[in-house]
Amino acid sequence: MTHQNDKLKNLKTSSMDRRLSIAKASLLAGTRWATANAGSFFASDEEKEKKRKKAMTDQANYLVSEIGKLKGSIVKIGQMMALYGEHFLPEEITQALNTLNNQTVALAWPAIKAHLQDQLGSKLDQLTIDHEPIGTASLAQVHRAVRKSDGQELVLKIQYPGVADAIDSDMSLFKNMLKLTRMVPQTREFDQWFDEVRDMMHREVNYSIEAATTQRFAERLKDDPRYIVPQIVDEFCAPQVLCMTFERGVPINSPVMLSLPQERRNRLGEASLEIAVREIFEWGEMQTDPNFGNYLVRLGNGADIADKIILLDFGAIRQFDEHLLSVARNLIQAGYNHDSTAMVEAMTGYEFFDSIPQSIKPDMAKVFLLATEAFSSKENNPDLPPDVMDDQERYDWKKSQLHARVMQQASRSMASRYFSVPPKEFMFISRKFIGAYTFMTVINAKTNVRKMIRDHL
């Protein structure tokens, strides 16, 4: 729990403040970099590499600690870079950026209350709001509330004042910072990726989009007893306040999850994967932030009341065009049939794929066939490791160590240089599946993905 004196009294969002502290950080980082390189002029290659790695780690940690002192969009940009950056950022930077999550400090109640009054006016009197947030993030914090008229439990997601206005200048800052450190390849893909993150940021602070998306998913899943989507409560929504029903559940990684019988964990795993499959095959839009904080589980009783997955955050939704979806479906179908010719044929009609020499595609197909191993079967996949799939075609995610094996195969692949910055959509889909794989591993579920995909082929 944060103590009152740990909380920020107000936000450092004035762009001048932010520019200065970040410019200072980048400048220092740049000079450290130069010194580290100069010092290693006479060292052996091995020594040089060690020094370079250490300098990069120091530099990345320093930048991150500076960013962590700020709030708002710059932190969120850093978090997005950590989430999607494994393909194109040096490991040292991704690791440092990954620690940003734990550095978010809450904004003190008086500042939040003043902001709420500004947003909701006299409606505020109809609510009793907890002063302590139940969650803080880089762009908003979440408070529980009760509607006085009927005792309905609610949550308010309250966006920090000034955050939305700082996005564009923060994006430029972040980009320049990375350029100054010379840690990242400056390519057209990198620029496109940056534009994409900017779009995501703007969507994430647009609460009317998030409310509409939440309602759309709630409608799709309303008759399926395995899912709960919170209801949006319009009367207490405002441009920077999103209000919805409070839904009780336990976190995915809580110890009680692992004490559930295997069967129940398998069912929860299948329910979470099925969402990802339906997003690609049916709905054409995807929740792209597979963060554990976005899920809770409401436990049943193991008999007549089923366990349910509570889906929480619909800020990071991406619509995909029909063309991309058909490419993704073809890749998945090739994985289902474990057919390398079909996999190579599916790699087409997309700028990313068309830039890869035909001779390298079979090599890249191996990476994709491995990534879709869980979709294949004992019959069609001679490379399936022993014991990762049972006779009911249930795949053992924990045993498979799939993510590590895919990364290894990708780095050995001749095509590795084409993976340096893959297209942004590709990153979203791979990120989504990595999220789903991790979910399975954490709750140690064994799931039949083939059955889900079969319904769509």
What are the pLDDT tens digits along the chain (457 aa)?
A: 444 456 777 665 555 566 666 666 666 666 655 565 555 556 677 777 787 778 778 777 777 777 766 667 778 888 887 777 766 677 777 888 878 766 567 889 999 999 999 999 999 999 999 999 998 877 899 999 999 999 999 999 999 988 888 888 888 877 877 776 666 667 777 788 888 889 888 998 999 999 999 999 999 999 999 999 999 999 999 999 999 999 999 998 899 998 999 999 999 999 999 998 999 889 999 888 777 778 899 999 878 889 999 999 888 888 888 888 888 899 999 999 999 999 999 988 777 788 888 888 998 899 899 999 999 999 999 999 989 999 999 999 989 988 888 888 888 877 666 666 667 777 777 778 778 888 888 899 999 999 999 988 8
H helix intervals, 279-423? 322-337, 340-346, 351-354, 361-371, 397-400, 402-412
pLDDT tens-place string over residues 383-417: 999 899 999 999 999 899 888 888 888 888 776 66
Q: Count Cβ neighbours within 10 Å for each residue of 375-407 and write b for 16 or more, e otherwise.
A: bbeeeebeebeeebbeeebbbbbeebebeeebe
How many whole angstroms separate alpha carbon 370 and alpha carbon 36?
40
pLDDT value of position 1: 45
DSSP at 152: -
Tell me the C-alpha distance between 307 and 270, whole Å. 12
pLDDT given for residue 39 in this prediction = 57
Give me the pLDDT at residue 116, please: 97
DSSP type of residue 243: E
Nearest to 310 by CA among 216, 266, 245, 265: 245
Position 191 scores a pLDDT of 81
Total Cβ atoms within 10 A of residue 240: 22
pTM for this entry: 0.84
Output the CA torsion 11→244→165→162 (10° steps). -20
